[in-house]
Structure 1
């Protein structure tokens, strides 16, 4: 039930995200206004992240998830009413996506920190895969369906569907029991209120070598994701059509879905260092592959492989945090993890364009300084500088993976727990308690 409600809510949000962006662009005709929509969907949540993590650890995670669904539904209803009255303006959309960003800042760490309370240790990795599958389907099926729905039932219809998904998931959450985590020594509430709890969360992350290493490794991973994401569209369009770009983006979505399915069924490598550094190596190689030639076939393979490996690495990272960190402080740890990832992504998005246009593109023009050397391998002309940037990112990712594989704090991680075969139950031994996935 939990996963069904999550998938329904994620799909509804994906419908609205796509429709909002399309409406803003159609109404203003401005790419800048559209970009501002993307920025507002990211930045408020990044800023609010530390406080959100403290709230997740302080309050009931089930209550927070329910409140976040209700708080998400209200702005959707307001937008629908404004649109019906022909009063909807772009700034309304900016406020809406900003509010949604703040809500996600609470919702995502609450969700991540709840998984370890709902699933036994040997099933946490698979449970992560199910959650990531819901988000992957939202980013593929949800966006594609959102475009179709926008054409068929207009913005008001899409908003109505999204509102219904929030109501549906709220009803499901009302029947899910998420137990409160036991209070650990690390989670003892310091004097000083929320500010002291936020500082305590930062201290917890900063004083544990494993958490610092995973945080730095994930930040490096998000740099590669941000640059690859920002460069991919202009790189493909420099030699191919918009239809080809759509195929490449679809391959990225399929790769994310396949990676999530693999985690949900397999759980990822038993040795966690393989799930981190081991899968980061082919991730870097796929980036390099997509840069070698202006070939849609190569980029399709690279796009699929990149998102598949990225999903495995990200899922493994989250599994480590869920299993190795005390449950009552996971809200702050995940909020920190998400905030750093969001900051890195935002900076990558902002820097990728100028770095590609002003630094790398001139190097591989027909008369560029590297046309006779690097250009003889990956080609010269428009777009090949961006390909070189992607190649550099791939090499940096390979170096990062090798460095990570040699870190004692990661190599010393215990193997992922595996599900034990069922054993006959003696009459003198009580049977196991039922799962707490559903309850009052």
Structure 2
């Protein structure tokens, strides 16, 4: 493949990013609207979980579907379903019938369809770009997600304040049309089945459940990849827990406007890290980068919370946030280089399932740990105050700071354990790159065939 092969991927990414941006705006504003209606943080949290949990639980099934059916059709059907769900929400709002449980139910349904898009597109990337551009492509994805995450709160809040939910719904529907248009005009290739497992799936001799099992057995035969699933899941879980606790930690010594400035500057590190990945090509050894940069993040989380100097927190946060796209892009590239594209959807689905469970588990325990254990322990008369007080200080937010440092220490332990594994250290050379082969079937014909199969 030449650099020309990046163009179809770029068109697809831009279209999906615009569509996702519209959905993010609506989702953010719906949370505000629901909170204003009943003033319940619980409902706000349930809406957030409704957006996450189906993706986590359905990831293995979604990966099997991505490997079994035409990938272009999967994305198109998911986009059509999302348009219908947004239309239903808009209609209920227009007729003043919308209540929070409608939002929870429809957001959950939308998340079900979104679950099938993520592994489908991830599994298709190695068919659309050359190996030398894999980290570049994954860096572009990280850049798009980073921009959406940074821009959504401010833009959604402004649109909601000035135009209400109807404006957000219109924007969402418009962005959906861009997303589905990009999919329609882009050729999304199908992999050729080369492995026995993939061949059985493509001939539909296996049930979807059995197809998921094939993905599991594929990972079991590659212990280094299985170890990578566990390693990255632990790193991502600790990062999301630290991210949730940063805001209350900062409020312990900074005013709200100062906290916002610190978080905005630190968050912009995502853009810097993604830009680095886009600029780099021909990266052949990904694992040393994943391990080394994860270690750097661990050191940052261990040391930074001890300070209450705003500029140091902001600068350190920028570096930590810049590291995540680097870790994520190289992690994705390993799977895309080492796993047969015909079974890649299932492998990614299982990876996302383990990753999601780890993150959900961490989010469930981190709040109680902070509130019931570490914050009281770092109060002026707390049991940890005599030992850690001279380094962290005492009072509001200092227990959270200690807990974030503990997460950094655990991350360094995970890095050390990974370094102790020869297979993990040498994963790039231990596993051969797969040979990419694209199905010759015309996309229009294959789409029609798979539409009939999926309907059955």
Same fold (TM over 0.5): yes
Paired with 2:282 and 2:30, the residues of 1 have a C-alpha distance of 36
The answer to whether structure 1 residue 99 and structure 2 residue 113 are counterparts is no
State the TM-score, normalized to the length of structure 2.
0.88
Residue 340 of structure 1 aligns to a residue whose secondary structure is helix
Residue of structure 1 equivalent to 2:77: 67
For structure 2, the 5+ residue unaligned runs are: 1-10, 430-439, 445-456
Residue 94 of structure 1 aligns to a residue whose secondary structure is helix
Query: Deviation digits for residues 242-296 of structure 1, max 9, x if unmatched?
Result: 2223223323431112211211221495431222111011111221233112232
Residue of structure 1 equivalent to 2:190: 180
The answer to whether structure 1 residue 384 and structure 2 residue 394 are counterparts is no
Shift in Å at residue 339 of structure 1? 1.3
Contact 1:288/1:394 (<8 A) preserved: yes
Shift in Å at residue 376 of structure 1? 0.9
Change (3 A) 1:54 1:207: same
Contact 2:63/2:119 (<8 A) preserved: yes
The answer to whether structure 1 residue 122 and structure 2 residue 132 are counterparts is yes
For structure 1, the 5+ residue unaligned runs are: 416-435
Paired with 2:412 and 2:13, the residues of 1 have a C-alpha distance of 34
Residue 374 of structure 1 aligns to a residue whose secondary structure is helix
Contact 1:289/1:298 (<8 A) preserved: no
Paired with 2:215 and 2:145, the residues of 1 have a C-alpha distance of 27
Shift in Å at residue 221 of structure 1? 0.7
The answer to whether structure 1 residue 76 and structure 2 residue 86 are counterparts is yes
Shift in Å at residue 394 of structure 1? 0.8
Residue 379 of structure 2 aligns to a residue whose secondary structure is coil
Residue of structure 2 equivalent to 1:189: 200
Residue of structure 2 equivalent to 1:427: none
Shift in Å at residue 297 of structure 1? 2.1
After the TM superposition, which residues 37-52 of structure 1 pair with which residues of structure 2 at under 5 Å, given as runs?
37-52=47-62
Residue of structure 1 equivalent to 2:426: 412
Paired with 1:329 and 1:247, the residues of 2 have a C-alpha distance of 44
The answer to whether structure 1 residue 351 and structure 2 residue 365 are counterparts is yes
Shift in Å at residue 148 of structure 1? 1.4
Residue of structure 1 aligned with 2:322, choices 287, 308, 314? 308
Contact 2:16/2:182 (<8 A) preserved: no
Contact 2:266/2:315 (<8 A) preserved: no
The answer to whether structure 1 residue 370 and structure 2 residue 381 are counterparts is no
Paired with 2:12 and 2:394, the residues of 1 have a C-alpha distance of 51
Paired with 1:267 and 1:288, the residues of 2 have a C-alpha distance of 32
Paired with 1:202 and 1:379, the residues of 2 have a C-alpha distance of 47
Contact 2:304/2:313 (<8 A) preserved: yes
Paired with 1:265 and 1:287, the residues of 2 have a C-alpha distance of 27
Residue 372 of structure 1 aligns to a residue whose secondary structure is helix
Residue of structure 2 equivalent to 1:216: 230
Which is worse superposed, 32-41 or 232-241?
232-241
Contact 2:284/2:428 (<8 A) preserved: no
Shift in Å at residue 192 of structure 1? 4.4
After the TM superposition, which residues 15-414 of structure 1 pair with which residues of structure 2 at under 5 Å, given as runs?
15-185=25-195, 186-189=197-200, 191-267=205-281, 270-414=284-428
Aligned length, in residue pairs:
418
Shift in Å at residue 313 of structure 1? 0.7
Q: Point out 4+ residue stretches in structure 1 off by more than 3 angstroms.
A: 267-270
Paired with 2:138 and 2:238, the residues of 1 have a C-alpha distance of 22
Paired with 2:237 and 2:283, the residues of 1 have a C-alpha distance of 24
Paired with 2:297 and 2:174, the residues of 1 have a C-alpha distance of 38
Aligned-residue CA RMSD (Å): 1.8
Paired with 2:267 and 2:103, the residues of 1 have a C-alpha distance of 26
Which is worse superposed, 242-251 or 329-338?
242-251
Query: Deviation digits for residues 120-148 of structure 1, max 9, x if unmatched?
Result: 11111111111221111111123321221
Query: Deviation digits for residues 340-390 of structure 1, max 9, x if unmatched?
Result: 111111111111111111121222111122212211111111211111101
